């Protein structure tokens, strides 16, 4: 049954008008994973999944545009729906930072180089070039592979996730004229990274509100050397 990606939110750093922050559903190997839970994404998650159908949650790092909605998820699942605790995988420190009922999650600490099996899906982690400990991820199921950069500056590359990525989902916070102003990637740098990794396909995400989508796509395509898609809420890709 391969691997699929559904975009729940893709606004970078803070929510845009009517747009949720980074969040994705990754499905494969018989499990449904909620990957990052940025502000606004819990509302969109429920357009695609009952809360009880989330098998595990994975959070890349402790910035609010990637984790904040696990708090509302915990309230809903624990107090109102009275669901059993959900496994959550996150870097050290997030557990202490989040507000929420302690019994909502089963916590699993992850770090650079870890690999975990969740159902029939393998998830590998690589620490990126970003402020707090931030983990990029590689998902493998049924011979298909998806790489997700999380947030990163140019000191890390998708190459660190290994060869054979069918799809790279890479942050592209801004355009090349702002390179170096924050610990993030431009669309050009996302294209370079995906090309170096030999990715079969590139979707750019985490564009900050106001950054032009067409300019980002064109810049990424020039560097990647092939067509590039810009993430939109509700986009679903089957690999």
Strand order across the beta sheet in which 56-58 lies: 105-109, 86-90, 56-58, 31-37, 23-28, 3-9, 236-238
Structure tokens at 108: 């699993």
Contact between residue 175 and residue 34 where contact means Cβ atoms under 8 Å apart: no
78 touching Zn ion, by CB under 5 A: no
d(CA 27, CA 3): 6
Q: Cβ of residue 59: shortest distance to Zn ion, in angstroms?
A: 11
Nearest C-alpha neighbor of 149 from the set 158, 141, 160: 158
Q: Which stretch binds Zn ion (CB under 5 A): 64-72, 89-97, 154-162, 211-219?
A: 64-72
Q: 3-class DSSP state for residue 106? A: strand
The residues with which 136 forms a beta bridge, in sequence order, are: 126
Q: Cβ of residue 13: shortest distance to Zn ion, in angstroms?
A: 5
d(CA 134, CA 186): 18
Structure tokens at 133: 């400990």
**# chain residues binding Zn ion, by CB under 5 A:** 3
Residue 65 or 133 having the CB closest to Zn ion: 65
d(CA 209, CA 90): 26
Residue 32 or 63 having the CB closest to Zn ion: 63
65 touching Zn ion, by CB under 5 A: yes
Site string for Zn ion, 92-121 (x = CB under 5 A): ------------------------------
Q: 3-class DSSP state for residue 212? A: coil
62 touching Zn ion, by CB under 5 A: no
Contacts to Zn ion from residues 191-220, by CB under 5 A: none
Q: Cβ of residue 239: shortest distance to Zn ion, in angstroms?
A: 24
Please name the residues in contact with 213: beta carbons below 8 A apart, sequence gap of 6 or more. Answer: 207, 230
Residue choice 63, 188, 201, 217 for contact with Zn ion (CB under 5 A) = 63
Site string for Zn ion, 145-184 (x = CB under 5 A): ------x---------------------------------
Q: Cβ of residue 151: shortest distance to Zn ion, in angstroms?
A: 4
188 touching Zn ion, by CB under 5 A: no
Q: Cβ of residue 130: shortest distance to Zn ion, in angstroms?
A: 6
- Per-residue DSSP letter, 163: S
233 touching Zn ion, by CB under 5 A: no
Binding site for Zn ion (CB under 5 A): 63, 65, 151
């Amino acid at each position: 049954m391969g691997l699929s990606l559904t975009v729940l939110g893709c606004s970078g750093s803070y929510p845009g008008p009517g747009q949720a922050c980074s969040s994705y559903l990754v499905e494969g190997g018989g499990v449904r994973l909620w990957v990052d839970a940025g502000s606004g994404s819990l509302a969109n998650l429920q357009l695609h999944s009952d809360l009880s159908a989330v098998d595990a949650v994975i959070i890349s790092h402790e910035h609010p545009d990637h984790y904040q909605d696990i708090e509302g998820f915990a309230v809903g699942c624990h107090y109102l729906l009275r669901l059993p605790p959900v496994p959550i995988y996150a870097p050290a420190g997030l557990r202490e930072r989040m507000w929420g009922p302690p019994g909502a999650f089963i916590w699993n600490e992850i770090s650079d180089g870890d690999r975990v099996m969740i159902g029939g899906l393998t998830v590998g982690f690589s620490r990126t070039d970003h402020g707090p400990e931030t983990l990029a991820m590689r998902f493998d199921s049924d011979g298909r592979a998806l790489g997700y950069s999380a947030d990163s500056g140019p000191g890390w590359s998708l190459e660190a996730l290994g060869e054979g990525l069918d799809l790279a989902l890479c942050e592209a916070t801004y355009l090349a004229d702002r390179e170096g102003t924050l610990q993030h990637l431009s669309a050009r740098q996302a294209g370079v990274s995906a090309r170096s990794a030999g990715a079969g396909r590139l979707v750019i995400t985490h564009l900050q509100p106001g950054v032009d989508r067409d300019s980002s796509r064109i810049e990424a395509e020039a560097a990647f050397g092939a067509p590039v898609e810009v993430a939109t809420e509700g986009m679903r890709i089957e690999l």
